[in-house]
Amino acid sequence: MMDHLFRHHYGKMVSILTRIFGLQHLETIEDAIQDTFINAIRAWQGNVPESPEAWLIKAARNRLLDLLRKISAADARVARIEAGVDTIAINELFLDHEVEDSVLRMIFTACHPALNPKDQIAFALKTISGFSGKEIAAALLLKEETVKKRLSRARKMIRVKNLAFEIPGGLDLEQRLERVLEVIYLIFNEGFHSNRKDILIREDLCGEAMRLAKTLHSNSFTATPESYALFALFCFQSARLRSKINDQKEIISLQEQDRSRWYQPLILLGHQTMDKAVSATETFSCYHYEAAIAAEHVRASTYEETDWDKILLWYEQLDRLEHSPLNLLNIAVVQLQRRDLEAVKNLLESIQPNLLEQRAYLYYGTYAEYAHQIGNREQALALIDQAIALVENEAESGYLKRKKAKYQMS
């Protein structure tokens, strides 16, 4: 229970208290909240309060006041907060819409252009989502010491640049929101297809990305067609999570997944959100096209009913908008399903696999399937071996090895 409460309320508490006391006290705020949860574990043994969140926020505020009293520069500020008009204003900040506003301010702070892009994700996961340094290191394939440095660097830059704890306006909002969406997208992707060796899916990261994306919808300025499309994409992808891996932690291909296990309420929510994403704009983003592709997959009641022509159209539109070798590879995969083998060959020959970096094994796996379909068994086996040599994730390695066994038997 405490783990759930910590993850669910940490970001809210940090955001509210930062709005009250200022970004300059962020580390002290985080320490106070950490202390509060430790005290809650002791105080709640067999007697959980009726409103845990209210208890936590009040206790964290009191603990923070104690800590700030020890900081001489904060004495005047503490005095104003403890009495008078400021107290009334503070109470207003705990209303639901103000809580959402505070969290949004923290999201935009985490994605401020003054911060190093590499630091932004770590800072967002720590400050908004309550991930520990160890969890961040595991999620991003980093050493804990590297995570500590990134968090320290981000906090220092916030102090040095004296960043405002605010939701930006005008053109700045548009530019910052673009980065906010990118960071949330990257968090979800790491959950949906992890770079870790021992695990393929991180449901906690997917859930956190969904929560952050949904928070954007609480404000009329951030509830944009792009933010709705991103959330719709997350809904469609998350609906299939439980069917991607079996009890032996083996990957189940899309063709073999049990579609009765796909979570229909999330799919419905995805379609409803997608309606909002397309109704207010005639210009579609990369998130619109990715969500449209995911929607086609969940719309098909069987693998054979998948509308590959429509998926090809959306991928081609996506590549026109943001050309990349990964998009070309995905188009090649779709053309394999359409049995347009000449198009597959041309696409694969146009891709430089080294540009795919950690995902280069996907290129060789796709090329192996192409070789298998044209009946070149020797080439298929050589290419699948290249893919196996490059892949790091154990579940994906196992999947490729099972494919190799099929090629050997054909």
DSSP labels for 295-358? Answer: HHHHH-SSGGG--HHHHHHHHHHHHHHS--HHHHHHHHHHHHHTT-HHHHHHHHHH--GGGGGG
CA distances from 345 to 80, 92, 107, 196, 368 (A): 71, 62, 44, 31, 11
The answer to whether residue 340 sits within a structural domain is no
- Domain annotation covers residue 275: no
Q: Which two tokens stand for residue 47?
A: 């007697």
Mean pLDDT, the chain, whole residue set: 87
Domain assignment of residue 6, given as a range: 1-94
Q: Is residue 44 domain-resident?
A: yes
How does residue 5 score in pLDDT terms, banded at 50, 70 and 90? low
Confidence of residue 83 (pLDDT cuts 50, 70, 90): very low
Q: What's the pLDDT tens digit per position in 182-235?
A: 989 988 988 888 766 777 788 888 988 998 999 999 889 999 999 999 999 999
Coil, helix or strand at residue 251? strand
Evaluate whether residue 359 is within a structural domain.
Answer: no
DSSP letter for 219, please. Answer: S
Return d(Cα 49, Cα 59) in angstroms, integer.
12
Residue 165 to residue 109: CA distance in whole angstroms: 6
pLDDT at 62 over 90: no
Looking at the 3D structure of the chain, how many domains does it have? 1
Q: Do the domain assignments include residue 16? A: yes
Cβ proximity of 130 and 7 under 8 Å: yes
The separation between CA 400 and the C-alpha centre of its own chain, rounded to angstroms, equals 26
| CA pair distance 264, 242, nearest whole angstrom | 12
Name residues whose C-beta falls within 8 Å of residue 401's C-beta, 6 or more positions apart in sequence.
Answer: 388
If you ran DSSP here, which 8-state letter would residue 121 be given? Answer: H
Residue 166 lies in a domain: no
Let me know if residue 75 belongs to a domain. yes
Task: Count other Cβ atoms within 10 Å, centred on residue 230.
Answer: 31
Q: In this structure, is residue 70 part of a structural domain?
A: yes
